[in-house]
């Protein structure tokens, strides 16, 4: 982790951003970065020179800057006092008119996935650099007015080692050995600026006049080459579809997709140079669902080129204008024009619960107008609400408006605010105008109010079947009342019969619905956004019905209803395991196994009356599925992953690791080998020497992370001290290893050895700000939370911490969410457990 600056930096407040935007207009950034020593392990810093040209209305303001050392700063040629730099801000006093600010500073490379992140590939020792300027990170690379509504063009000049390739937001070339000049970019928000520099392996192509590129570390070059055609085909198909839908061409020149190490997010939509986490270059066999996830991520980032990049939200309270649209359009385009036509079914398994659970937390917030008071607070709202819930509501908006009006409004929005900033009211205005243009004046008048109940009111309505009363009950969240109309499909089946699908509209607290003796699944196809759960009679009937359900989307809806019922304490773990055993033999979607089995392993089995017996049930079911599945299929892979993660027989695990006693068709590659080793470690059935030897045999980036995970999983005091040293900042490791250690140290069945760390977590977490910042700070709070300490005392400690004055807001937010989850698990244990 990077060392903190002399004094903590301050996150930009919305009020400050509003005042600065009214004062300034930024014309251009010229940034020179000297990375020429960046291929030496001992190098920790780089040189940054920024020239900013802007106009001012006249008055006091500040430029954002987080250097190791500030050498000089000149405003209109006059030297500024560098000692006035405080908490990441250099004060400026401006007169009305044009100005030029020149800042020369030394910056620090980071290893937390933000700023200019530098990573050493353990496979070959080569070093790589990439820029992640999101939120408060840009000022640790160059001086800037760091807010989304002060967009400006950028010109970058980079000096780098001669063996390196440099890619950025605009096309560039190497003008002499080690010297790269990038063209002037289109106007960009500061958080979009990036630079990807290093000895990358690069694949190039062209489509429809757009130069395409892919890059990854040299040690995974063969794997990138193997994936390149699939990735490039997806890119071509998505460009063609977005151009068809919007009639506005991609406006940012080249389109490079860089797969970079130790990346915090799934990807970042930087115009011209999108960055992805490099596990998305597959170095081991993966399921079809994982390939769909990569495809929708590619499409999601491409959608951002219009939703977010061409038109950028004025402030983070409208981040849904970025993420909800990219989520919706990414899934839609993937399903419509690529080989992954089942993308929406994947989305049901992968994203629905993420959004529903987030929307039930105490920290829930509206999709639009989330109230982000500063950039740090806004970062926590990049969650299942802004992505999954927002995308679901946009599907409803599309259904109500009709595709022609929906797209016409979007195109008008892009045209009116091209390369500028906008708000939700601007978009609503474009949709209202599109409705009027279509002769639908009455709909245009009603649209803002009806949409507000969905977009600006937090929390999901619960819709439950009251079988005896013959009604569907709609219950809004007590703290967030709303009057929302839901139109959705219902799947119902008579005993011994098959599913029949019908449409219902719920427009009040009670809506008549005669279920009779039928099993009833509400909203299985995600037509609305609501918390729906099967009643007791339906759960019982599903034992027979689920194995006879041949619609993968309907099965996904069934599992989402069951997962919601469990989360809210309405499903006995024993019933959940019964249904897992009933459904797995006929399941043909590896997504179902990939998401349902970890849920059963991580939540259901540990909270059951007999955790060991429940774990054994999951193991038998997944192993039987792996043995029955088509040899070599991704369905078999998903089943075997579950079997390996649930095995309690260390002799069997060791045999599998040696390539013996495997189901026909299963081959143990790097990922499976480490899955087996991590499970052996959790059982205490492998030594540290063996884990070290496995890392030495294949010293890849993936191996290094899984080695950390395995060491932290060992059931002894040394293992937990190993993990805790990373939390405490005593040992500095990259972000992936940090999170792996935290996630792995807390394991069910190891409560005796982790008990000393329960109180330490709550005592020491506030001090984590001395070692971590930004994205990683919040992730550390979650990864190290003692979720296995199912005891009222843990709840008491968490409540005390949340109430503590001065606790960092991002830490408080994550602890609040973890506390909510802990209390729900305790409730399940109290109701159904031993």
Q: Which residue is listed with tokens 């805790």?
A: 724
Residue 299's region, left for phi above 0, alpha for psi from -120 to 50, else beta, is alpha
Residue of 262, 102, 115 lying closest to 190 (CA atoms): 115
Backbone angles phi, psi at 532, to 5 degrees: -125, 140
Contact 303, 295 (CB under 8 A): no
Q: Is 654 exposed, middle or buried (0-12, 13-18, 19+ CB in 10 A)?
A: middle
Alpha-carbon span 261 to 296, nearest angstrom? 20
Q: Token digits for 758? A: 């329960």
89: number of Cβ within 10 Å: 20
For residue 736, what are the contacts with CB-CB under 8 A and spacing of at least 6?
262, 701, 705
Instruction: Establish how many alpha carbons lie within 13 A of residue 447's alpha carbon, considering only the half-sphere containing its beta carbon.
Output: 28
Alpha-carbon span 304 to 225, nearest angstrom? 26
Residue of 13, 17, 20, 115 lying closest to 65 (CA atoms): 115
Catalytic-labelled residue, pool 114, 262, 301, 737:
301
Alpha-carbon span 169 to 423, nearest angstrom? 24
**Helix (H/G/I), strand (E/B), else coil: 293:** helix
Contact 148, 322 (CB under 8 A): no
Contact 138, 11 (CB under 8 A): no
Alpha-carbon span 572 to 486, nearest angstrom? 28
Alpha-carbon span 288 to 231, nearest angstrom? 14
Ordered DSSP codes for 689-705: HHHHHHHHHS--HHHHH
Active site residue 697: no
Contact 748, 611 (CB under 8 A): yes
Per-residue burial over 91-125, b = 16 or more CB atoms within 10 Å of its CB, e = otherwise: ebebeeeebebbbbbebbbbbbbbbbbbbbbbbee
Q: Token digits for 121? A: 């590939």
- Beta bridge partners, 256, equal 213, 273
Alpha-carbon span 36 to 129, nearest angstrom? 12
For residue 478, what are the contacts with CB-CB under 8 A and spacing of at least 6?
none
H or E, element range at 724: helix 717-727
Ordered DSSP codes for 457-496: S-SPEEEEEETTTTEEEEE--TTS-----EEEEEEEE-TT
- Beta bridge partners, 33, equal 48, 158
Residue of 163, 95, 149, 156 lying closest to 131 (CA atoms): 156
Alpha-carbon span 371 to 457, nearest angstrom? 12
Q: Residues 532, 538, 541, CA angle at the centre, nearest 5°? A: 150
Which sequence positions are flagged as catalytic?
Answer: 301
């Amino acid at each position: 982790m990077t060392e903190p600056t002399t004094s903590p930096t301050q996150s930009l407040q919305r009020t400050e951003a509003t005042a600065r935007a009214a004062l300034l207009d930024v014309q251009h950034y010229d940034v020179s970065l000297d990375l020429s020593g960046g291929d030496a392990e001992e190098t920790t810093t780089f040189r940054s020179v920024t020239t900013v040209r802007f106009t001012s209305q006249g008055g006091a303001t500040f430029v954002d800057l987080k250097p190791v050392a500030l050498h000089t700063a000149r405003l209109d040629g006059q030297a500024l006092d560098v000692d006035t730099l405080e908490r990441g801000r250099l004060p400026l006093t401006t007169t009305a008119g044009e100005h030029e600010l020149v800042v020369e500073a030394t910056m620090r490379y980071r290893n937390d996935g933000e700023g200019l992140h530098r990573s050493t590939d353990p496979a070959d020792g080569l070093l790589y650099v990439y820029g992640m300027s999101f939120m408060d990170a840009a000022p640790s690379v160059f001086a800037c007015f760091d807010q989304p509504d002060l967009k400006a063009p950028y010109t970058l000049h980079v000096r780098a080692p001669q063996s390196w390739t440099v890619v950025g937001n605009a096309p560039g070339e190497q003008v002499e050995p080690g010297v790269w000049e990038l063209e002037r970019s289109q106007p960009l928000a500061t958080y979009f600026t990036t630079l990807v520099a290093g000895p990358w392996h690069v694949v190039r192509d062209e489509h429809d006049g757009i130069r395409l590129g892919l890059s990854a570390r040299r040690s995974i070059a063969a794997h990138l080459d193997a994936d390149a055609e699939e990735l490039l085909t997806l890119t071509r198909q998505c460009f063609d579809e977005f151009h068809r839908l919007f009639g506005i061409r991609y406006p940012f020149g080249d389109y490079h997709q860089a797969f970079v190490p130790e990346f915090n997010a799934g990807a970042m939509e930087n115009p011209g140079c999108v960055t992805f986490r490099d596990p998305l270059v597959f170095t081991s066999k993966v399921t079809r669902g994982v390939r769909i996830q990569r495809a929708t991520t590619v499409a999601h980032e491409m959608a951002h080129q219009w939703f977010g990049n061409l038109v950028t939200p004025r402030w983070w309270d409208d981040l849904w204008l970025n993420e909800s649209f990219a989520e919706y359009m990414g899934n839609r385009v993937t399903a419509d024009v690529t080989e992954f036509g089942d993308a929406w079914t994947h989305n049901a398994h992968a994203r629905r619960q993420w959004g529903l659970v987030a929307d039930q937390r105490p920290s829930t917030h509206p999709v639009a107008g989330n109230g982000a008071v500063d950039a740090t607070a806004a970062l926590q709202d990049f969650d299942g609400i802004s992505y999954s819930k927002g995308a679901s509501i946009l599907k409803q908006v599309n259904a109500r408006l009709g595709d022609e009006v929906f797209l016409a409004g979007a195109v008008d929005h892009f045209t009116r605010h091209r390369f500028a900033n906008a708000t939700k009211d601007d978009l609503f205005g474009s949709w209202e105008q599109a409705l009027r243009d279509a002769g639908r004046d009455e709909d245009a008048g009603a649209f803002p109010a009806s949409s507000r109940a969905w977009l600006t009111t937090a929390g999901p309505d619960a819709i439950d079947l009251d079988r005896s009363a013959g009604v569907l009950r709609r219950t809004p969240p007590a703290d967030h009342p709303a009057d929302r109309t839901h139109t959705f499909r219902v799947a119902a089946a008579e005993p011994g019969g098959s599913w029949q699908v019908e449409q219902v509209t719920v427009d009040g607290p009670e809506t008549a619905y005669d279920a009779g003796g039928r099993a009833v699944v509400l909203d299985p196809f995600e037509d609305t956004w609501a918390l729906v759960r099967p009643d007791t009679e339906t759960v019982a009937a599903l034992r027979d019905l689920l194995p006879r359900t041949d619609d993968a989307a309907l099965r996904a809806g069934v599992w989402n209803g069951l997962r919601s019922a469990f989360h809210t304490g309405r499903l006995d773990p024993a019933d959940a395991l019964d249904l897992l055993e009933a459904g797995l033999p006929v399941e043909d979607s590896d997504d179902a196994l990939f998401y349902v089995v970890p849920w059963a392993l991580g939540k259901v089995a540990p909270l059951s009356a007999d955790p060991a017996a429940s774990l054994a049930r999951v193991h038998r079911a997944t192993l039987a599925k792996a043995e029955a599945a088509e040899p070599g299929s991704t369905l078999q892979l998903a089943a075997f992953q579950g079997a390996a993660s649930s095995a309690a027989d260390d002799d069997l695990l060791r045999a599998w690791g040696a390539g013996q006693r495997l189901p026909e068709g299963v081959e143990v590659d790097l990922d499976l080998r480490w899955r087996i080793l991590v499970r052996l470690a959790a059982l205490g059935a492998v030594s540290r020497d063996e884990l070290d030897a496995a890392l030495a045999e294949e010293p890849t980036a993936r191996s290094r992370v899984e080695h950390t995970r395995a060491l932290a999983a060992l059931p002894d005091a040394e293992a937990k001290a190993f993990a805790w040293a990373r939390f405490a900042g005593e040992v500095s490791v990259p972000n992936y290893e940090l999170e792996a250690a935290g996630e792995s140290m807390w394991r069910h069945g190891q409560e005796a050895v982790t008990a000393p760390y329960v109180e330490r977590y709550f005592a020491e977490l506030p001090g984590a700000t001395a070692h971590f910042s930004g994205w990683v700070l919040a992730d550390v709070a979650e990864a190290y939370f003692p979720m296995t300490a199912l005891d009222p005392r843990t709840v008491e400690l968490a409540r005390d911490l949340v109430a503590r004055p001065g606790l960092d807001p991002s830490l408080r937010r994550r602890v609040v969410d973890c506390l909510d989850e802990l209390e729900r698990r305790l409730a399940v244990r109290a109701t159904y457990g031993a």
